[in-house]
Amino acid sequence: MPRSREEITKRLLALEERVLRGDERAIAKQHAEGKLTARERIERLLDPDSFVEEFMLAETQCREFGMAERRQPTDGVVTGHGRIDGRPVYVFAQDRTVLAGAVGSVHAEKISYAIDTAARLGVPVIGLFDSVGARTPEGLDVTKAIGKIFFSNTQASGVIPQISAIMGPCIGVASYSPALTDIILMVRGTSQMFITGPPVIKEVLGEEVTMEELGGAKVHSEVSGVADLVAKSDEECLGQIRRLLGFLPASFREGPPRAEPGDDPDRLVEDLDQVVPEDMRKPYSMLEVIARLVDRGEFLELKPRFARNLVIGLARMDGRPLGIVANQPMFLGGSLDADCSDKAARFIRFCDAFNLPILTLVDVPGFFPGTRQEKMGIIRHGAKMLYAYSESTVPKITVVLRKGYGGAKQAMCTRETGADQVFVWPGVELAVMGAGGAVNVLYRKEIEAAPDPDTVRQQKIEEYEERFTGPFDAISKQYAQAAILPAQTRRRVIRALRVLETKQQDRPAKKHGLMPV
CB 435 within 8 Å of CB 445: no
In 3D, which of 389, 431, 434 has the Cα closest to residue 412?
389
Asked if domains 5-245 and 272-428+470-501 share a fold, the reply is yes
What pLDDT, in 10s, does the model give residues 96-110?
A: 998 878 888 899 999
CA distances from 69 to 12, 16, 60, 61, 77 (A): 20, 19, 11, 11, 18
DSSP category for residue 195: S
Angle at 229 between CA 114 and CA 366, to 5 degrees: 120
DSSP category for residue 500: G
Pairing of strands 310-317, 299-302: antiparallel
DSSP category for residue 381: H
Helix (H), strand (E) at residue 78: strand 77-84
Domain ranges of the chain: 5-245, 272-428+470-501, 434-468
CB 161 within 8 Å of CB 127: no
In 3D, which of 64, 68, 90, 71 has the Cα closest to residue 15?
71
Give CA–CA dist 417/502, Å, rounded. 20
Pairing of strands 358-364, 169-171: unpaired
Pick the CATH number of 272-428+470-501 from 3.40.50.1000, 3.40.50.150, 3.90.226.10, 2.102.10.10: 3.90.226.10
What per-residue confidence (pLDDT) applies to 138? 66
What per-residue confidence (pLDDT) applies to 69? 52
Q: How far is CA 153 from the centre of its chain?
A: 16
Amino acid at residue number 458: Q
Angle at 236 between CA 232 and CA 240, to 5 degrees: 120
What per-residue confidence (pLDDT) applies to 332? 96
The CATH homologous superfamily to which domain 5-245 belongs is: 2-enoyl-CoA Hydratase; Chain A, domain 1 (3.90.226.10)
Give CA–CA dist 129/185, Å, rounded. 10
Number of other residues whose CB lies within 10 A of the CB of residue 137: 17
pLDDT in tens, the chain (517 residues): 568 888 889 988 988 898 889 889 999 999 999 999 999 999 999 999 999 999 988 876 655 544 545 567 788 899 999 999 999 999 999 999 988 788 888 999 999 999 999 999 999 999 999 988 777 666 677 788 889 999 999 999 999 999 999 999 998 878 899 999 999 999 999 999 998 888 888 889 888 999 999 999 999 999 999 999 999 999 999 999 999 999 999 999 999 999 999 999 999 999 999 999 999 889 999 999 999 999 999 999 999 999 999 999 999 999 999 999 999 999 999 999 999 999 999 999 999 999 999 999 999 999 999 999 999 999 999 999 999 999 999 999 999 999 998 889 999 999 999 999 999 999 898 887 777 777 788 888 888 888 888 888 888 887 777 776 678 888 888 999 999 999 999 999 999 999 999 999 988 999 999 999 8
What is the DSSP secondary-structure string of 145-190?
HHHHHHHHHHHHTTTS-EEEEE-SEEEGGGGHHHHTSSEEEEETTT
What pLDDT, in 10s, does the model give residues 113-162?
A: 999 999 999 999 999 999 887 776 666 777 888 899 999 999 999 999 99
CA distances from 327 to 348, 385, 462 (A): 14, 13, 26
